A and B are shown apart, each in its own frame.
Chain A
Amino acid sequence: MVVEEPEPDTFPKLLLRHSKLRGGRPALREKSRGIWRTMTWRDLADEVAALAGALSAQGLQRGAHVALVGDNRPRLYAAMCAAQWLGAVAVPLYQDAVADEMVSSMQKAEITHVFAENQEQVDKLLELLPRCPTIRCIVYDEDRGMRHYKQPQLVSYDTLLQQGREFAGSKREFLQAEAERGTGQDVAFLFFTSGTTGPAKGVVLTHASLIDRARVAAASEGLKDTDVAMAYLPPGWIGQNLFSYVQPMVVGYCVCCPESSETMLADMREMGPTYFLAPPRVLEALLAQVSMRMEDAGGINRALYERCMALARRVGARILSGETVPLGDRLAYAVGELLIYGPLRDVLGMSKVRVAYTAGDAVDRDLLMFFRALGVNLKQLYGSTETGFFVAMQRDGQVKPDTVGPAAQGVELKFTPQQEILVRSPGLFKEYHRDPETTSRARNAEGWFHTGDAGYMDDDGHLRIIDRLANVGALNDGTLHAPKVLENKLKFLPYIKEAVVFGDGRDTVCVFVDIDGTAVGRWADRQNISYTGHADLASRDEVYALIADGIAEVNTGLALEPALAKSQIHRFVILPKELDADDGVLTRTGKLRRSVIAERYRLLVDGMYDGRASVRLDDATEVKVGEAKAAAPARRAA
């Protein structure tokens, strides 16, 4: 007889249920010393319970904030759940942030306990300790190099776990009661936004809102406990957290942590994830790698690849969507599947992927279609930290590449006259941490959240995103200017890693190009161009010519689209140094900080618009300005 239990409304309760229902199934896998080590749901529940016991002994209070600083490690996920078990709030931070960046988050959240992955993170924490007096306890996972540290706040994860296991028996009832006390309305997470437009804001999310969104997404994709996902993006980003903590907690599927970021691709191939999340920049990097390797391949292989990809671009996505395709093409595609698509998916670690999502930033249609053409069911997902991530998503069989799909179940959308997207959904955040003023500005009394994104609903009810509202501007002749669209088209070129488009309030569109050092480097090798380093490579006339050709190609494409024909790129510079989050020009999720870039390189922007042939940046660097060839606007056939 089946007794109906109430649906668990917090993560610790979900964990306990998985431990009961599927205790022997894998919850987390981690590759360590060359072997995948499995933690079952039962193991995980035991470890979390022990840890919760030890944390309560360490004085962790309900409602306190626990920071997690490190890469995706099973132990950090266990720590998250242990904190929530006691009613504390998990605060995952970006692990590669430098100490100064972390200080403000730590201070704002008044962190009392921190879980750190290793010595590197502990060093950072000790550096900021004097400025964060609320921190009482730092727990470190890897003990390598930690022997010389004598600070009283430090305790190793192993010690803590050992303590927890020792009194787990005597504390069983207390722990049971603590888990029961939690409700869905309790705060589960505090995420810091990546801070594209200003200082990072702390977004407070409850158990209920996240669990609701995860259930909706799981139902729409038919996720099962046999699914497998990879945890490889920063856990401080809500997207990764949803895929590697929230959703597995709801569905009971298995999450795999690769050995290190360098081994990610090989590890992913070994585990064969079925459910995959990748922000556009990861997809761009994968595509760049494929293109680069194909350019090094022999003539026959290359010709075969190009023919197969041409066919795939024509029919692949339609076959994936289940549309009718002529028999001849279908047969040819089957041959291609055998020769190219299947093996390529395998190399990319995507041969088992059932559902893949790209989110976090706008994706170029060609990029999306490349993967769909290969037979990877890659779809777009729209959401943000404040909206619980699942706002709109493309559905199987109705993927329109220029849209992010219809609204997810439970989500209401409306638009302001300025085309700003407003969202109302059960997944909305509770508030900005200790900032009622900003909260009330972002969410009005009826519960509509201002996303700051501009977009509109198309005729089929699919949401189309234009850009960040703040970025949308106009050229002097009144043409709508949304830099993201152009940048994504440029970034699709294999030699361009990042692009920053200017044009708001100007007569023409100009662009900063950040070349992909590896791809351009290989190209230069093939051309017998010798260079000393990135800066030298970026200033070569040959490279300028290469990029100019690429931009001319993009311009030709733009000329074909009436809305964009006037946004053709006129001039460009190649940045002498790669854009890097450590310089503050990118966020930790790799998004552009436009205002910072425009300020830092003002000389270059002025130079592009003054019509100068080169700009002297400082004593050592002179940056050239390249001219791009514009294409004539297409004339419509009468």
Chain B
Amino acid sequence: MSTVASLSSPQRAFPIGAPILELNSISLRFGGVKALTDISFNVLEHEVRAIIGPNGAGKSSMLNVINGVYVPQEGSIAFRGERLTGVGMTPTRAAHLGIARTFQNIALYRGMSVLDNIMAGRNLRMHASFLEVALQLPRARREESEHREKAEEIIEFLEIEHIRKTPVKRLPYGLQKRVELGRALAAEPKILLLDEPMAGMNIEEKQDMCRFILDVNDHYGTTVVLIEHDMGVVMDLSDRVVVLDYGKKIGDGPPDEVRANPDVINAYLGVAH
């Protein structure tokens, strides 16, 4: 456990804590295809955890298991040490537990403005009834302005003030990604799942996104689980890395350790036979 201890440097406002999420012997099959085989790892509170691996390694499947889109045939998930019983994880349950996510192919309301998209992320925190909102009763109005305040805080945080009222479909790709991050943040998540947040970005957009991810982790203490292809980015960003290949875990540890792992090198660079 010495590696973990060294991560919780005194510099962090939110020192890395106990496991918030534990995945035990997860196996997922689609018919005869084994997407994930017997995978176990944990995510510590306040850390940035990366899942990497070549194409088709099962990274997105893993993320989908975490937030309940896929139900694994075997294995279990524990949240803050408590095993999720019954149906296990479902997307709704994940949302209520404070797990928010972004998608590999942007999933925003394209016709709506940036502000409205971010407000949509506050959905679970709105309590006024349909009637109250429709009639603009005091509670609904108070609630609206509270949520707007929070949305504006996120807009400022992500430096997207200038596009606040712009419909999302008119924005360039890099900004859409940022808006999607904003919507996930609007839910004030405990855990943020990011599916390839930097895919298809140019170097400048990548740098911006890296900074935002680190700022989110630093400022709000949000635990981040991210999938990324770009090894350089992963190494700079994450506290610990899980490496998957063909649905199996082949490495787990701090970036430097993983980089030196021969299995990981083989999986990424191929091996001479």
Using a CB–CB distance below 8 Å, which chain A residues touch chain B? 32-35, 144-145, 147-148, 259-260, 262-263, 266
Q: Are A260 and B161 in touch, CB under 8 angstroms?
A: yes
- Option from B11, B164, B218 in Cβ contact (under 8 Å) with A34: B164
Q: Given the complex, which residues of A lie within 8 Å of B143, measured CB to CB?
A: none
A33, A144, A147 pick with most chain B CB within 10 angstroms: A33
- Option from B153, B156, B159, B215 in Cβ contact (under 8 Å) with A145: B215
Q: Are A262 and B162 in touch, CB under 8 angstroms?
A: yes
**Chain B 112-171 residues near chain A, CB threshold 8 A:** 115, 148-149, 152-153, 155-157, 159, 161-162, 164-165
Q: Given the complex, which residues of A lie within 8 Å of B157, measured CB to CB?
A: 144
5 A-B pairs with C-beta separation under 8 A: A34-B115, A144-B215, A145-B215, A260-B159, A262-B162
- Option from B148, B161, B165 in Cβ contact (under 8 Å) with A262: B161
Select from chain B the residue with minimum beta-carbon distance to A259: B161
- Option from B13, B149, B153, B161 in Cβ contact (under 8 Å) with A263: B161
Q: Are B218 and A147 in touch, CB under 8 angstroms?
A: yes
Expressed in whole angstroms, the Cα–Cα distance for A263 and B215 within the complex equals 23
Using a CB–CB distance below 8 Å, which chain B residues touch chain A? 11, 13, 115, 148-149, 152-153, 155-157, 159, 161-162, 164-165, 215, 218-219
Q: Are A35 and B152 in touch, CB under 8 angstroms?
A: yes
Given contacts A33-B156, A144-B157, 11 further A-B contacts (CB under 8 A): A33-B152, A33-B153, A34-B115, A34-B161, A35-B152, A144-B215, A145-B215, A147-B218, A260-B159, A260-B162, A262-B161
Q: Are B219 and A144 in touch, CB under 8 angstroms?
A: yes
Q: Given the complex, which residues of A lie within 8 Å of B159, measured CB to CB?
A: 260
Expressed in whole angstroms, the Cα–Cα distance for A338 and B148 within the complex equals 36
Expressed in whole angstroms, the Cα–Cα distance for A227 and B156 within the complex equals 29
B116 CB, min distance to chain A CBs, angstroms: 13
A-B pairs, top 8 by smallest CB distance, nearest first, are A262-B162, A33-B152, A34-B152, A263-B162, A259-B161, A263-B161, A33-B156, A260-B161
Q: Given the complex, which residues of A lie within 8 Å of B218, measured CB to CB?
A: 145, 147
B215 CB, min distance to chain A CBs, angstroms: 7
B264 CB, min distance to chain A CBs, angstroms: 31
Expressed in whole angstroms, the Cα–Cα distance for A148 and B215 within the complex equals 12
Expressed in whole angstroms, the Cα–Cα distance for A539 and B164 within the complex equals 36
Q: Given the complex, which residues of B lie within 8 Å of A148, measured CB to CB?
A: 11
Expressed in whole angstroms, the Cα–Cα distance for A450 and B258 within the complex equals 69
B19 CB, min distance to chain A CBs, angstroms: 25
Select from chain A the residue with minimum beta-carbon distance to B164: A34
Q: Are B155 and A34 in touch, CB under 8 angstroms?
A: yes
Q: Given the complex, which residues of A lie within 8 Å of B164, measured CB to CB?
A: 34
- Option from B13, B149, B219 in Cβ contact (under 8 Å) with A33: B149
Q: Given the complex, which residues of B lie within 8 Å of A262, measured CB to CB?
A: 161-162
B58 CB, min distance to chain A CBs, angstroms: 36
- Option from A33, A144, A145 in Cβ contact (under 8 Å) with B155: A33
- Number of CB contacts from chain A to chain B under 8 A: 32
B89 CB, min distance to chain A CBs, angstroms: 34
Expressed in whole angstroms, the Cα–Cα distance for A260 and B13 within the complex equals 29
Expressed in whole angstroms, the Cα–Cα distance for A145 and B13 within the complex equals 11
Select from chain B the residue with minimum beta-carbon distance to A261: B162
Q: Given the complex, which residues of A lie within 8 Å of B13, measured CB to CB?
A: 147
A362 CB, min distance to chain B CBs, angstroms: 31
Expressed in whole angstroms, the Cα–Cα distance for A260 and B155 within the complex equals 13
Select from chain A the residue with minimum beta-carbon distance to B211: A145
Q: Given the complex, which residues of A lie within 8 Å of B215, measured CB to CB?
A: 144-145
Expressed in whole angstroms, the Cα–Cα distance for A263 and B218 within the complex equals 27
Expressed in whole angstroms, the Cα–Cα distance for A154 and B114 within the complex equals 36
Expressed in whole angstroms, the Cα–Cα distance for A33 and B218 within the complex equals 21
Q: Are A34 and B148 in touch, CB under 8 angstroms?
A: yes
A34 CB, min distance to chain B CBs, angstroms: 4
Expressed in whole angstroms, the Cα–Cα distance for A263 and B165 within the complex equals 11
A75 CB, min distance to chain B CBs, angstroms: 16
Select from chain A the residue with minimum beta-carbon distance to B162: A262
Q: Given the complex, which residues of A lie within 8 Å of B11, measured CB to CB?
A: 148
A259 CB, min distance to chain B CBs, angstroms: 5
Select from chain A the residue with minimum beta-carbon distance to B156: A33
Expressed in whole angstroms, the Cα–Cα distance for A263 and B163 within the complex equals 8
A270 CB, min distance to chain B CBs, angstroms: 12
Q: Given the complex, which residues of B lie within 8 Å of A266, measured CB to CB?
A: 162, 165
B115 CB, min distance to chain A CBs, angstroms: 8
Q: Given the complex, which residues of A lie within 8 Å of B161, measured CB to CB?
A: 34, 259-260, 262-263
Q: Given the complex, which residues of B lie within 8 Å of A32, measured CB to CB?
A: 156
Select from chain B the residue with minimum beta-carbon distance to A32: B156
Q: Given the complex, which residues of A lie within 8 Å of B219, measured CB to CB?
A: 144
Q: Given the complex, which residues of A lie within 8 Å of B152, measured CB to CB?
A: 33-35
Expressed in whole angstroms, the Cα–Cα distance for A31 and B236 within the complex equals 35
Expressed in whole angstroms, the Cα–Cα distance for A263 and B166 within the complex equals 12
Select from chain B the residue with minimum beta-carbon distance to A142: B156
Expressed in whole angstroms, the Cα–Cα distance for A38 and B42 within the complex equals 49
B162 CB, min distance to chain A CBs, angstroms: 4
Select from chain B the residue with minimum beta-carbon distance to A258: B161
Expressed in whole angstroms, the Cα–Cα distance for A57 and B254 within the complex equals 47
Select from chain B the residue with minimum beta-carbon distance to A263: B162
Select from chain A the residue with minimum beta-carbon distance to B160: A262
Q: Given the complex, which residues of A lie within 8 Å of B165, measured CB to CB?
A: 266
Q: Given the complex, which residues of B lie within 8 Å of A147, measured CB to CB?
A: 13, 218
Expressed in whole angstroms, the Cα–Cα distance for A32 and B156 within the complex equals 8
Q: Given the complex, which residues of A lie within 8 Å of B156, measured CB to CB?
A: 32-33
A35 CB, min distance to chain B CBs, angstroms: 7
A98 CB, min distance to chain B CBs, angstroms: 18
A228 CB, min distance to chain B CBs, angstroms: 21
Expressed in whole angstroms, the Cα–Cα distance for A34 and B151 within the complex equals 10
A496 CB, min distance to chain B CBs, angstroms: 26
Expressed in whole angstroms, the Cα–Cα distance for A266 and B156 within the complex equals 16
Q: Given the complex, which residues of A lie within 8 Å of B162, measured CB to CB?
A: 259-260, 262-263, 266
Expressed in whole angstroms, the Cα–Cα distance for A510 and B65 within the complex equals 68
A120 CB, min distance to chain B CBs, angstroms: 12
B119 CB, min distance to chain A CBs, angstroms: 12
Expressed in whole angstroms, the Cα–Cα distance for A332 and B24 within the complex equals 79
Expressed in whole angstroms, the Cα–Cα distance for A257 and B162 within the complex equals 14
Expressed in whole angstroms, the Cα–Cα distance for A34 and B144 within the complex equals 14
B28 CB, min distance to chain A CBs, angstroms: 40
Expressed in whole angstroms, the Cα–Cα distance for A470 and B165 within the complex equals 48
Select from chain B the residue with minimum beta-carbon distance to A33: B152
Select from chain B the residue with minimum beta-carbon distance to A262: B162
Select from chain B the residue with minimum beta-carbon distance to A265: B162
Select from chain A the residue with minimum beta-carbon distance to B159: A260
Q: Given the complex, which residues of B lie within 8 Å of A259, measured CB to CB?
A: 161-162
B221 CB, min distance to chain A CBs, angstroms: 12
B161, B218, B219 pick with most chain A CB within 10 angstroms: B161
B151 CB, min distance to chain A CBs, angstroms: 8
Select from chain A the residue with minimum beta-carbon distance to B151: A34
A606 CB, min distance to chain B CBs, angstroms: 36
Select from chain A the residue with minimum beta-carbon distance to B163: A262
Select from chain A the residue with minimum beta-carbon distance to B153: A33
Select from chain A the residue with minimum beta-carbon distance to B215: A145
Q: Given the complex, which residues of B lie within 8 Å of A260, measured CB to CB?
A: 159, 161-162
B174 CB, min distance to chain A CBs, angstroms: 15
Expressed in whole angstroms, the Cα–Cα distance for A144 and B219 within the complex equals 8
Expressed in whole angstroms, the Cα–Cα distance for A148 and B165 within the complex equals 34
Expressed in whole angstroms, the Cα–Cα distance for A35 and B164 within the complex equals 12
Expressed in whole angstroms, the Cα–Cα distance for A145 and B155 within the complex equals 16
B35 CB, min distance to chain A CBs, angstroms: 40
Expressed in whole angstroms, the Cα–Cα distance for A466 and B164 within the complex equals 45
